[in-house]
Structure 1
Amino acid sequence: MAAPILKWKRLTNATGPSPRPRHGHRAVAIKDLMIIFGGGNEGIVDELHVYNTATNQWFIPALKGENPPGCAAYGFVCDGLSKILMFGGMIEYGKYSNELFELNATRWEWKKLKPKPPRNGSPPCPRLGHSFTLAGNKVFLFGGLANESDDPKNNIPKYLNDLYTLEMKVSTNTYAWETPLVGGDLPPPRESHTAVAYCDKNGSNYRLIVYGGMSGCRLGDLWVLDIGAMLWTKPTVFGIPPLPRSLHSSTIIGNKMYVFGGWVPLVMDDVKVAAHEKEWKCTNTLGCLNLDTMKWEHLTMEMVEDSMPRARAGHCAVATHTRLYIWSGRDGYRKAWNNQVCFKDLWFLETEKPVAPSRVQLVRASTNTLEVCWGAVPTAEAYILQLQKYDMPLTPAKTPTGNPPLSPMKATGVFRPAVVG
């Protein structure tokens, strides 16, 4: 059976106040909402916008509390319900943060947190380009880029590969940093990588999967932290891998990690050039890693130029249901940070065929009309309803209760809807 052809779709005619184009922003998803904060283009912004994927509508919530400063390349994570945590990032060129903020998305209220330092060390230093990933009841902070100079104008970059965990103490409603003891070989230092958390279908055996990034050159390696054993490994990965990259996005949908965009090396043939990059470019390629088999899978994509996002890096990506959404990001080669070519477009990719509604019910029937209803499928754009002819027996048989059976027109399950994604 031939693999389905995946198609990007650009979302247009959205209502409400859409955000300005930017890069270095972050996004999280809560149900049908995509929540975007920060980033920059001609300056770093402290704006928060929300996009409703179900209604194609942007809105700006009325925020209260202690708002964080404008920030880019920070950590942004959500518990999937109402709590969002934000850590670190760049607040000015060369000036990085190690502050922690919480956003309650029910009340749209910011709060600056003061987590307890680790019992066996110092709290994480200011940084950008780190990963900040929720796995179970802990957030895992890994890597990033620090400035070893106290003078922001005299930037001395330091790539990091340290690991911290952040846990909320439910009984006291406080947060605490920890520096866990970890075995195995640590991943090399990096920034602008991605990290996702994946667990088995039964909700156990959490793994943190770190991919790509930048450390003098683009990286294409993949590392796994077994969270139960707290052990780093570099697993054997099968299939044809994507090009090494940084400033990409990695998004979990089902048992697959979708890697989109980023900066990739312009030349891969010469080992010396690959090790000490001189040139790079943006890409709009999409990679797919099956996390159960650890194999890069081939995707058949519709490659018409106007029907797919342009190459970009520093965009944001979220998953809602089975759709992958991406917004904005930058293009351009060796342009100043505050003078980028940024996009304002919003796209989604349907990664799986939507499932059919589970139940169909009869609302009313007449001699020549039927009215039925079923639960909507969020990712289905259209439905096909199949009617099955059923001949009534001349003498209705009695049921074990002694009552005649329901008319087939009144029985659920007679109608077979299918969906079109």
Structure 2
Amino acid sequence: MDGVYDAPLSSRSRLERSSHTAFIDDGVLYVWGGYQVADGEDVVLPSNEMWLFNFYSGIWERKELTGDVPPDLMDFCGSYLNGTLYIFAGCDGEGYTNDMFTVDLRSECCVWKRLMNPNGKTPSPRSKHSCWVHRDRLIYFGGYGCKTVGEVQNGSSSSFVLEEMSWRTIGGTLFRCWGWNNEVNVFDTLTRTWSKPETRGAAPVPRGCHAAAILGNKGYISGGVEGATLDLYCLDLESWMWSCLDTSGSVAPLGRTLHTMTATPDGTLFVYGGFGTCGPTLNDAWQYNLHQKGGPN
């Protein structure tokens, strides 16, 4: 560790950030990545450092990361499993990427490694996606990104919503399509293998900037699309069956993006904030009881 600070820090600290990844392990909060806004411009924060907050001492510490340090990334997806942080996809200085980087945070020297030559077919480049961590697997859903025309034509027309096309050459390909998807892609961390399960049921429409949570063997998705009210979907991570949950009630949350959703052990989903589909920034909180049919509380 280099650098120890008493909390709270100055508002001008590099701790101030958005679009980062954060997780808690053994009483310590880990924070990596993201960006700040300086003079009206987005400034991506360094990939070779991680900030740790000890809940017992109330002290922040900066940890240096070496190795194959990821490029400056925005809208990536970070997941933590068995002491290792996995960073997948996002936008770098050249556009959308589908690279994966890992770092073992329990080792004395925290060294980034770029995943090379995984088994299976790596998902297409994307951003604004989400991930469920389940039984040594990272299960990614949705996002916005690019595909070749051939990939779009060979895939399901309902799994990708085309937004725009480019005729310029990218990576040896004459042109690419940009849009939203509702794909489910699985990375097995033990075998380093990508797979794409065949899901069934009423899948959510393609989206990104949504919120995801997991409880037991069920993954949940909410928001991320234009809508007057917040929708809620569930994917059984064993049978791969989608279902749309009933969120009707006397009052329902407004539709939103870039919000958070957290599952609690008592079987509820807690939704907070985000951007309303009509534009305003929201600071409301909602609770959905998974054991009781009906709308959120």
Regarding TM over 0.5, the answer is: yes
Query: Which shifted more, 12-21 or 288-297?
Result: 12-21
Distance 1:20 1:166 in 2: 30
| One of 61, 70, 73 as aligned partner of 1:71 | 73
Give 1:248 shift.
0.8
Tell me which of 179, 194, 197 is aligned to 2:196.
179
Q: What's 1:36 paired with?
A: 31
Q: Please say which structure displays the higher CA radius of gyration.
A: 1
Q: Indicate yes or no: 2:90 matched with 1:89.
A: yes
Preserved contact between residue 26 and residue 73 of structure 1 (Cα < 8 Å): no
User: Is the CA contact (8 Å cut-off) linking 2:257 and 2:277 kept in structure 1?
Assistant: no
Look up the match of 1:372: none
Tell me the distance in 1 between the aligned counterparts of 2:210 and 2:204.
11
Instruction: In structure 1, list runs of 5 or more residues that go unmatched.
Output: 1-11, 200-205, 267-279, 299-421
User: 1:141-152, aligned counterparts within 5 Å?
Assistant: 141-147=140-146, 149=166
Cα shift at 1:49: 1.6
Whether contact under 8 Å (2:80, 2:86) holds in the other structure is yes
Tell me the secondary structure at the aligned position of residue 23 of structure 1.
coil
The 5 Å alignment of 1:372-411 reads: none
CA distance in 1, matches of 2:68, 2:231: 39
Separation in structure 2 between the aligned mates of residue 219 and residue 175 of structure 1, nearest angstrom: 39
* Separation in structure 1 between the aligned mates of residue 17 and residue 9 of structure 2, nearest angstrom: 19
Give the 5 Å matches for 1:7-22: 13-14=7-8, 18-22=13-17
Residues 1:126 and 1:290: Cα distance change in structure 2 (over 3 Å): same
Measured against aligned partners, the alpha-carbon deviations of 1:215-269 in whole angstroms (never above 9, x if no partner) come to: x668721111112221111122354332111011112232222211110033xxx
C-alpha distance in 2 between matches for 1:40 and 1:31: 26
Partners of 2:210 and 2:222 within 8 A in 1: yes
Kept in 2, the 8 Å contact 1:18–1:59? The answer is no
Alpha-carbon deviation of 1:161? 0.8
One-letter code of the match for 2:264?
I
Give deviations 1:374-414, integer Å, cap 9, x for gaps. xxxxxxxxxxxxxxxxxxxxxxxxxxxxxxxxxxxxxxxxx
Within a 5 Å distance, the mapping from 1:240-389 to structure 2 comes to 240-254=251-265, 255-266=267-278, 280-293=279-292, 296-298=295-297
Relative to total residues, which structure has the larger strand share, 1 or 2? 2
1:367 maps to what in 2? Answer: none
* 1:168 has 2:163 as partner: no
Conserved in 2, the CA contact under 8 Å of 1:115 and 1:177?
no
**Is this contact kept in 2: 1:28–1:76, CA < 8 A?**
no
Q: Which runs of 5 or more residues in structure 2 are unaligned?
A: 1-5, 37-41, 148-165
> What TM-score comes out, normalization by structure 1 length?
0.56
Q: Secondary structure at the match of 1:19?
A: coil
Q: 2:53 & 2:294 partners in 1: Cα distance?
A: 33
Return the TM-score normalized by structure 2.
Answer: 0.77
Alignment partners' CA distance in 1, 2:106 and 2:187 = 22
Q: How many residues align?
A: 257
Given the alignment, which residue of 226, 234, 247 partners 1:237? 247
User: In structure 2, how many angstroms separate the alpha carbons of the residues matched to 1:175 and 1:67?
Assistant: 20
Paired AA for residue 28 in structure 2 = L
- Across the aligned residues of Structure 1 and Structure 2, the Cα RMSD in angstroms comes to 2.7
Q: Distance in 1 between matches of 2:269 and 2:176?
A: 34
SS of residue matched to 1:43: strand
Kindly indicate whether the alpha-carbon contact (under 8 Å) linking 1:288 and 1:296 is maintained by their aligned counterparts in 2: no
